[in-house]
Structure 1
Amino acid sequence: MTEETETPAVDVTGIRDAVSVRLPAVSAYLSVLRTATAGLAARLDFTLDQIEDLRIAVDEACAMLLRHAVPGTDLQAEFELTGHEMTVRVEVSTVGVSAPKRDDFAWMVLTALADDVDAISDHPDHMAIVLRKRRGAARPA
């Protein structure tokens, strides 16, 4: 006689996933990051428009960072998926720069495409941008 145990139901909104991607800090590798972004956003059932917005936002954030990246170093991307939200942190090593310009066109693009955008300055010679996108959150008109 086998004993059956009941498996508890999984609350999909309580799932937390974290994915790290490390790439050479060269624009030729950004297509890998765009593909990872789209795949992870699809996992959260983002709409096609939201997926494309997030892909463009991550690409733009990386382009901002790569302008200041030390040649021969890596770009690190951290994706955290929690319920209906994805947080993406991209970062590079720099020389003498720790924050992107918040008054240029690229920053305006980021703030238009993501629900939240922030620049993190953990220490000198390091630059990070954090983006958050929530499923179902409408962009401001």
Structure 2
Amino acid sequence: MDTPESPIVTITVPADVRFFRSVRLAVGGLATLVGFDVEAIDDLRIAVDEVCAALVDAGNGDDLRLEVCAQVGTSLRIEGTVPKGTLGFDEERFAFSRQILSVVADEYGYTTDDRSVNCWLERRLDREGSSVDAGTP
């Protein structure tokens, strides 16, 4: 649900690694709103990079569309979708992404159907060591 406490920000970028930096910056800013500390924000930037790379690999070259839901004080969820390419997910390549996502995300996954590819992750603030000090504004 898109509310002031849980805004959904939609980011659309070309399916080109040169534009991933913009996504990482946006995710870092939204993670700050949630209340994540610097280390968790760095983890989320790495994670969103993997999501973008997986979508580019499995997509047809069209723009990446990511929705980021920042639930203030709770969690950050990133979900990306692209039209499916002819090759789909490379399971071997995604195995590497899975290793990274399993460390930096609480939940993650991907799905495909006849038309599209979806990749997502979620990181909760209550994860040990991922929140800012309660006294920090």
TM-score grouping bracket, smaller chain normalisation = 0.7 to 0.9
What SS does the corresponding residue of 1:58 show, helix, strand or coil?
A: helix
- Distance verdict in 2 for CA 1:67–1:99, change over 3 Å: closer
Normalization by structure 1: what TM-score?
Answer: 0.78
- Select 1:109's aligned residue among 96, 100, 104: 100
Relative to total residues, which structure has the larger helix share, 1 or 2? 2
> Deviations along 1:89-141, whole A, 9 cap, x unmatched?
012222245556386122111111111001133x31311111001113038xx
Instruction: For residue 16 of structure 1, give the secondary structure of its aligned residue in structure 2.
Output: coil
Equivalents in 2 of 1:33, 1:137: separation in Å?
23
Alpha-carbon distance in 1 for matches of 2:34, 2:116: 30
Say what the alpha-carbon RMSD is for the aligned residues.
2.1
**Structure 2: how far apart are the matches of 1:119 and 1:138?**
25
Is the deviation greater in 94-103 or in 106-115? Answer: 94-103
Partner residue in 1 for 2:132: none
Aligned length: 124
> How far apart, in 2, do the equivalents of 1:116 and 1:132 lie?
5
What are structure 2's unaligned runs of at least 5 residues? 130-137
2:68 is matched by which residue type in structure 1?
Answer: F
**Structure 1, gaps ≥5 residues long:** 1-13
TM-score, structure 2 normalization:
0.81
Q: Percent identity?
A: 25
State the one-letter code of the partner of 1:95. Answer: G
CA distance in 2, matches of 1:126, 1:44: 29
Q: Distance in 2 between matches of 1:112 and 1:33?
A: 20
Aligned residue in 2 for 1:28: 18
